Amino acid sequence: MDTLISRHWHHLPAEEIIDLLDSDQEEGLDLFEVDNRQHHFGANIISGEKGEGPLLRFLLQFHQPLIYILIVAAAVTALLQEWVDAGVIFGVVLVNAFIGYIQEAKAVKAIEALAKTMTTEAMVLRAGKKQRISSAEVVPGDIVLLKSGDKVPADMRLLQSRDLQVDESALTGESVPVEKRAEVLDHDTSLADRLNMVYASGLVTYGQGSGVVVAIGDQTEVGRISRLISTTEALETPLTRKIAYFSHLLLYTILALAAITFLIGLVRGESIFDMFLAVVALAVGAIPEGLPAALTITLAIGVARMARRQAIIRKLSAVETLGSTTVICTDKTGTLTENQMTVQQISAGGERFAVTGTGYSPEGQILRQGIEVDAAGSSALMECLKAGLLCNDSLLLEKDGRWALQGDPTEGALLVSAVKAGLDMTGLRQRFPRMDAIPFESQHQYMATLHAGDADGPGIIYIKGSVEAVLERCAASLDAAGRQVVLDSERIQKDVEEMASGGMRLLAFAKGEIKQGATRLDHADVAAGMTFIGLQGMIDPPRREAIIAVEKCHTAGIKVKMITGDHVLTASSIARQVGLHRPLDVVNGKTLAEVSDEKLIDVAEETNVFARVTPEQKLRLVEALQARGNVVAMTGDGVNDAPALKRADIGVSMGITGTDVAKEAANMVLTDDNFASIEAAVEEGRGIFDNLTKFIVWTLPTNLGEGLVILAAIFAGVTLPILPVQILWINMTTAVLLGLMLAFEPREPGIMTRPPRDPKTPILTRELIVRILIVGTLLLAGSFGLFELGLMRGATEAQARTIAVNVFVMTEIFYLFNCRSLTQSMFRVGFFSNLWVFGGVVIMLILQMLFTYLPAMNFMFQSTPIGLFEWGGILAVAVTASFIVGAEKWLRRRSAER
């Protein structure tokens, strides 16, 4: 039995499959055989995967190079019995860990969500008796009976099918239910075209059938996707990659400087104790302790901003990644489109009508040549709409202000178009009650209904179906006034070609009469003599907002690619309507299967529309785009999207129509299923990355200046101008009260007109590094110079150190206003546009006064009061630094304008 799992079941005759699975089509499996197979194959569920526990997730917060240095520094200061310093350093480490742990997204639960999709019941035939069981108890070889409303419990090869239609959109991306039949198919038939197979998680929307189970649990197509998810590597984001690189570079630099400093001190005759303290001061000064906390909190602020714009972030790093996105790979059904079939064109009485509005909401107009018309003015149009309403088994319902369909999506579209024209669905069905019907069957390609006519008139027959099936039964057609005229098949075929070229699905309608009082309808009654009424063309229409969003993405330099499981013609039509570049250049799944991985990189880069694509191919396309250096965002809502969602730099799932599987695999969930929300999220992401860069450019000069001051003191053989505990005071208080206020900076104008950042570009450009060096050098000169000047003027070491600390803090305050824009003047971006900055500055000034003048703070941080003369020198350094940075930005702007 194990060897049967990989067979091409769609290519084998039903009798051979029954024999291979040792089953019986009439009796099913006997009870002993069911028991044996349950023990052998196990339950029909998808295996779970154990994730990281809470303790491990907390411990991983310490798994960062810079945190390692702080832990070692704290341990060294503790060994030296500098308990206050050690306690403050350990406190900083714990605060960072707690913030990261609290804000971290939930562990991946895609496998559990997949298991939930299979918790349903099934009707099986066992030992000759029908019985309803849990889907978990289904085994290979079981004969399962399906009817409308059932969820398919496992992968099955159909044995019988009567008008069976299955919604497989979650698995294949097909926008409409697929009509199934039991006949043998070619060996190389793709998954989406295997009409004699039904797959676990599919939903029966119409008809009935029976099939034999060929795969359960992990061996199903859904189970295969589960394995794809569990083996798919979740990538680091551009920001985490850059921060990791920066952290390692800083780690090696600090260790090298610490070793050199320690050796030089020993050579100069300094004590080991003093040199340990100096090395700790150097390490603490060079490390931007506030960076991890500020990074996490800034991203968390971004999460709150995005939530207000209908985007729920599940993983913090996704906030910044959106701003780096170079390619958005989007599913079609339910993402770019409404996922609701809509009639857009009607041909009746020799006239062509357009229907406005989308989805199942019956709000829209009937237009002729762009002008609204009263549908009642065209008898042929009204008859066509009436036929679509009466020859229909579905219901249109309104619940909680939302319109929903009960039944087939195609029939739902016909109901909506009729109601838009003013027809009363309930009243019309009561006026023309149905007496009998011929259900749709694939071999006939039509459905017909018999309705009671007027009291003294004949019965009325309406028929709908494929154009070919309806036309061959017609002898006449209706003109615009409702009169019978000669059937013009050539003109109708021309209409068909024009409407089908737009990717629309077409249904033809006809009308006939039967003797009064007839209550039965047979195929012979509709075989000939019918009157052709018209055509209705429908499509799953694009969202209006998606069209605008795609245009904005193109303006922002972001490529948009459609990757769908739907048909080539439909994909091309939607791509053209939403404004994708080169919409007619479509590559299908069959072609992708034959392309090598190396060639696929070029195909993925050059093509914007992919159709009839399998889950593995979606994953390959994402990997191919990433191989070219792209930062890829993947959107989707179905089970089939989950592996690619996880592999992409950022996965975006739909909140309303999205499956649990897709939501759990994604980094971000759109609460309104609106593609336009992605564009808004990209805009927020770019703003957040700008603000993170501003924070880094603001904070690093302080660390550079502190490190340079320590090195200068050691090389000069003088007392340290600032102590480790004072460095921690500077770094942590200013990071939270000053630097973090940059996270609230509003987005700068023109943020969505510039191209995406090159993923290979470092966080700090050459210009920004130069600025950091300038400010760091000014801090060295100002603090060291005023420290030495204070000692020369008779100040104590404590007073001189207090002066040096205040130089750092006041310079950071003035420099903060320079950093509100990396290129423009603070007045250009709006001096009062971010009131958080002013609040932070006021609180920082109060704390700095307490640091300088409060006895308890003097004891803890070894500070002491200073006079007005010293404050004058401190402010002079701060103002000078701010003026120099402003001049540097002005010179760069002038240079760029030339």
Instruction: Decide if 18 contacts 157 (C-beta within 8 A).
Output: no
User: What three-state secondary structure class fits 790?
Assistant: helix
Which neighbouring-strand residues pair with 210? 145, 160
- What integer is the mean pLDDT of 853-859? 93
pLDDT of 100: 62
The pLDDT value given to residue 107 = 33
pLDDT band at 118, cuts 50/70/90? very low
What confidence score (pLDDT) does residue 316 get?
Answer: 63
Mean pLDDT of the chain: 84
Three-state DSSP state, 380:
helix
What confidence score (pLDDT) does residue 659 get?
65
The tokens describing 191, both together, are: 């998954």
Q: How confident is the model at residue 707 (pLDDT cuts 50, 70, 90)?
A: confident
> Which DSSP string corresponds to 158-212?
EEEEEEEEEE-HHHH--SSPEEP--S---TT--GGG-TTEE-TT-EEEEEEEEEE
Of residues 99 and 539, the one with the higher pLDDT is: 539
Contacts of 660 (CB under 8 A, 6+ apart): 113, 116, 117
Q: How far from 612 is each of 164, 197, 225, 506, 593, CA to CA, in Å?
A: 22, 17, 17, 20, 11
Q: Which residues of 483-522 are buried (b: 16+ CB within 10 A; e: fewer)?
A: eeeebeeeebeebbeebbebbbbbbbbbbbbbeeebeebe
Least confident of 296-310, 410-424, 441-455, 706-720: 296-310
Token output for 377: 């003015």
3-class DSSP string for 39-93: HHHCCCCCCCCCCCCHHHHHHHHHCCHHHHHHHHHHHHHHHCCCHHHHHHHHHHH
- How would DSSP label each residue in 111-144? HHHHHHTT--EEEEEETTEEEEEEGGG--TT-EE
pLDDT of amino acid 827: 80
What is the greatest pairwise CA distance in the chain?
Answer: 122
Residue 561 parent element (H or E): strand 559-563
Which has more pLDDT, 173 or 802?
Answer: 802
The span from the CA of 651 to the CA of 631, in Å, is: 11
Q: Give the pLDDT band of residue 69 (cuts 50, 70, 90).
A: low
Q: How confident is the model at residue 117 (pLDDT cuts 50, 70, 90)?
A: very low
Q: How far apart are CA 717 and CA 706, in angstroms?
A: 16
Q: What pLDDT digit, counting tens, does each position of 393-405 carry?
A: 888 888 777 888 8
- pLDDT, residue 407, reads 80
- Selecting among 331, 495, 660, 673, the annotated active-site residue is 331
Q: Which residues of 35-73 are buried (b: 16+ CB within 10 A; e: fewer)?
A: eebbeebebbbbeeeeeeeeeeebeebeebbbbebbeeb
Give the pLDDT score at 77: 64
Tell whether the model's pLDDT for residue 1 goes beyond 60.
no
**Residue 106: pLDDT above 60?**
no
Is residue 540 part of the annotated active site? The answer reads no
Q: How far is CA 887 from CA 37, 159, 696, 772, 883, in A?
A: 80, 81, 20, 14, 6
Residue 237 has pLDDT above 60, yes or no: no
Rounded to an integer, the average pLDDT of 786-790 is 93
Local structure of residue 108 (DSSP, 8 states): P
Strands 395-399 and 402-406: antiparallel
pLDDT tens digits for range 14-33:
999 999 999 999 999 999 99
* pLDDT tens-digit map of 717-727: 788 898 878 88
Q: How many CB atoms lie within 10 A of CB 717?
A: 11
- Position 109 pLDDT exceeds 60: no
Per-residue pLDDT band at 818 (split at 50, 70, 90): very high
Residue 759, pLDDT above cutoff 50: yes
Mean pLDDT of 795-812: 95
Q: What pLDDT shows up at residue 512?
A: 95
What values do phi and psi take at 434, rounded to 5?
-80, 135
- pLDDT above 90 covers a percentage of the chain that reads 40
Strand partners, 158: 211
Q: What pLDDT is stored for residue 290 in this prediction?
A: 66
Q: At residue 112, does pLDDT exceed 60?
A: no
Q: Is 858 exposed, middle or buried (0-12, 13-18, 19+ CB in 10 A)?
A: middle
pLDDT tier at 48, thresholds 50, 70, 90: low
308-326 residue pLDDT tens? 777 777 766 677 678 788 9
Return the pLDDT at 260.
83
131 forms beta bridges with 124
Identify the residue whose tokens are 């159709």.
611
Confidence band, pLDDT 50/70/90 cuts, at residue 85:
low
d(CA 817, CA 799): 28
| Contacts for 688 with CB less than 8 Å, ≥ 6 apart | 298, 299, 301, 302, 305, 319, 320, 323, 743
pLDDT tier at 840, thresholds 50, 70, 90? very high
pLDDT score of 772 more than 90: yes
Q: Give bridge partners of residue 201 from the DSSP assignment.
A: none
Q: What is the band of 536 on the pLDDT scale with cuts at 50, 70, 90?
A: very high
Kindly state the average pLDDT of the residues 300-308: 75
Least trusted range by pLDDT, from 83-87, 130-134, 141-145, 513-517: 83-87
pLDDT tier, 293 (very low <50, low <70, confident <90, very high otherwise) = low
Distance CA 563, CA 552 (A): 19
The more confidently predicted of residues 106 and 309 is: 309
DSSP secondary structure string for all residues of 622-634 = HHHHHHTT--EEE
Task: Give, in order, the Cα–Cα distances in Å from 750 to each of 238, 595, 753.
Answer: 22, 40, 5
